[in-house]
Chain A
Amino acid sequence: AQTVTQSQPEMSVQEAETVTLSCTYDTSENNYYLFWYKQPPSRQMILVIRQEAYKQQNATENRFSVNFQKAAKSFSLKISDSQLGDTAMYFCAFKRYQGAQKLVFGQGTRLTINP
């Protein structure tokens, strides 16, 4: 079974700084998807960024980028020029390429951006 581990329960940075959230996962499969989801306080969870394992290029979405290290089974999220609106819970998630459509989530990292 796949597992996802986020080893940083909480992080806090100043506005405009860059922050990196860590995620490791365990799987025996070669093709799969990885995701970062954001859950703002009292609001619904939304997708931040997605990476397909068969793509070597790291995904980027504006200020958000990932460092995908397939051999190390590591998938970190970098937020550049952090903003107050980035304050949220962040979840890393894994999905098999084929078969069951369910996502397996990590424990989450609570990120606080301070003014």
Chain B
Amino acid sequence: DVKVTQSSRYLVKRTGEKVFLECVQDMDHENMFWYRQDPGLGLRLIYFSYDVKMKEKGDIPEGYSVSREKKERFSLILESASTNQTSMYLCASSSMLAGGPTGELFFGEGSRLTVL
């Protein structure tokens, strides 16, 4: 089974702190994603990556950056956390292999971040 592991389930940070959210997948997937989940808004894409060192902005990239130095690891960085970044962050991965389960995302358990 695919396993997507997010480093922290719950974090509490102060305004202005630098925050790192780590995600690791064990299925050699090419694609990795960071979504933000808020009540009434569903999931919104922050950034995604389709290869090592490659990244593309999603729908709400402002205030965030990402890093993908190894295929299995995709990090989300909040350079200076703000209270409006309090949210649930979901990491996901998917395969681009032909004939594979095209499009299916495999999710981590989520990281709930509170910025005070």
Interface residues of A (CB under 8 A from B): 4, 6, 9, 33, 35, 37, 43-47, 50, 91, 95, 100-108
Given known contacts A9-B40, A45-B90, A107-B41, is B107 in contact with A102 (CB within 8 Å)? no
A105 touches B42 (CB 8 A): yes
Given known contacts A101-B31, A101-B96, is B107 in contact with A46 (CB within 8 Å)? yes
Closest to A5 in B: B42
B48 touches A50 (CB 8 A): no
* Partner among A35, A91, A105 whose Cβ is within 8 Å of the Cβ of B103: A35
Tell me, rounded to whole Å, the shortest Cβ–Cβ distance linking A92 to chain B: 9
Which A-B residue pairs are the 10 nearest by beta carbons?
A105-B43, A45-B107, A107-B42, A95-B103, A105-B42, A33-B103, A44-B109, A101-B31, A44-B107, A108-B42
* Number of interchain pairs (Cβ within 8 Å): 52
The answer to whether B61 has its CB under 8 Å from any CB of chain A is no
For B84, what are the chain A residues with a Cβ–Cβ distance below 8 Å? none
**CA A14 to CA B108, docked complex, whole Å:** 30
For A46, what are the chain B residues with a Cβ–Cβ distance below 8 Å? 107
A33 touches B102 (CB 8 A): yes
* Partner among B42, B56, B101 whose Cβ is within 8 Å of the Cβ of A91: B42
**CA A21 to CA B35, docked complex, whole Å:** 23
Tell me, rounded to whole Å, the shortest Cβ–Cβ distance linking B19 to chain A: 21
For A35, what are the chain B residues with a Cβ–Cβ distance below 8 Å? 103-104
The answer to whether B64 has its CB under 8 Å from any CB of chain A is no
**CA A44 to CA B4, docked complex, whole Å:** 10
B105 touches A103 (CB 8 A): yes
